[in-house]
Amino acid sequence: MPRPFGRFYLHELINSGGMADIWVATDNQGNTFALKKLLDKHKFSLIARSRFSQGCEILAKVPVHEGIVKYLEHGRMEGTLYLLMSYEECSNLKILQARNDPLFTDNIADILINVSVALEHLHDNGFMHLDFKPENVVVTRSGLVRLVDFDLAQPKPEKPRKMSRNPGTPAYMAPEQLRRLPLDHRADIFAFGVSAYEMLTYQKPFPGETAAEVLRQQQDRSNGFTAPRELNPDLPTALEKLLLRCLENDPDKRYPIMSSVVHELKSILYV
């Protein structure tokens, strides 16, 4: 049974995270949306409210792009912060890969390129995602890729800057993030490398249950790190080289900008 929320009706819970739920919602005209709603338990948390609002404001400022979920509005209703987005039937990459969905397996090259282009668009417009991972990339039934969840996004600094807080998912975080050092958009390039490695090999490059374990794996690659082509010999050598450069511990050894990754990916995968 639909439940009212302000001028909307909430129908189906499609995703539930640590900070917010996402619902399929309709208005009185029968239009369908994706509505993200801050969890009641965070109503009085200044940190959660600030993070949620900042994510909404950044998404609102990013020019419309086919690779990024479409922003419609955000605000407060019934005392609760919300974000209204366009709705499309979709699944995230983690789910699609886990079930070997043809939408994933048959389109892996296009997915890699399209999501790299979405990150490039975000960076070129002055922001970094800081929570890039397969769960935050969705694919529609028609194969369109969308980057979602901007709760941890930040303005891209002129030079690496230390963050006041350090949230994120350790397995996808760059070493400078895990060590709480100054960072910039190249942390997203590292996270892209981790995600692409996982998509192409079905394993994480730096497994670990805690941030400390992941960091230890990153720092000591002689013990446990496996080159992508050892796990998937079908990968082009040039693609393995690209992944390894994205995964450099030192940000200065990674690609300097996402546009370089996009350019190389296209030349490797569109042969």
Q: Residue 8 pairs with which residues in a beta bridge?
A: 5
Residue 96: which pLDDT band, with cuts at 50, 70 and 90?
A: very high
Amino acid 271: pLDDT: 46
Pair 63, 31: CB distance under 8 Å: no
Amino acid 19: pLDDT: 86
Closest by CA to 172, choosing from 143, 131, 141, is 131
59 and 99 inside one domain: no
Mean pLDDT estimate for the chain: 93
- Residues with catalytic function: 131
> What spatial distance separates the first Cα and last Cα of the chain, rounded to whole Å?
51
219 and 96 inside one domain: yes
AA letter at 2: P
Pair 139, 89: CB distance under 8 Å: no
DSSP-derived secondary structure letter, 169: -
**Where in the sequence is the domain holding 247, given as residue range(s)?**
90-269
CATH number of the domain bearing residue 45: 3.30.200.20
Query: How many structural domains does the chain have?
Result: 2
71 and 126 inside one domain: no
Q: Per-residue pLDDT averaged across 58-64, rounded?
A: 96
User: Which H or E run includes 112?
Assistant: helix 108-124
Query: Of 30, 61, 86, which marks where a domain is finished?
Result: 86
Give pLDDT tens digits for 137-175.
999 988 899 999 999 999 999 999 998 776 788 999 999
Pair 164, 135: CB distance under 8 Å: no
Q: Per-residue pLDDT averaged across 120-139, rounded?
A: 96
Give pLDDT tens digits for 163-208.
877 678 899 999 999 999 999 999 999 999 999 999 999 999 999 8
CATH number of the domain bearing residue 164: 1.10.510.10
Q: How many residues does the structure list for the chain?
A: 271
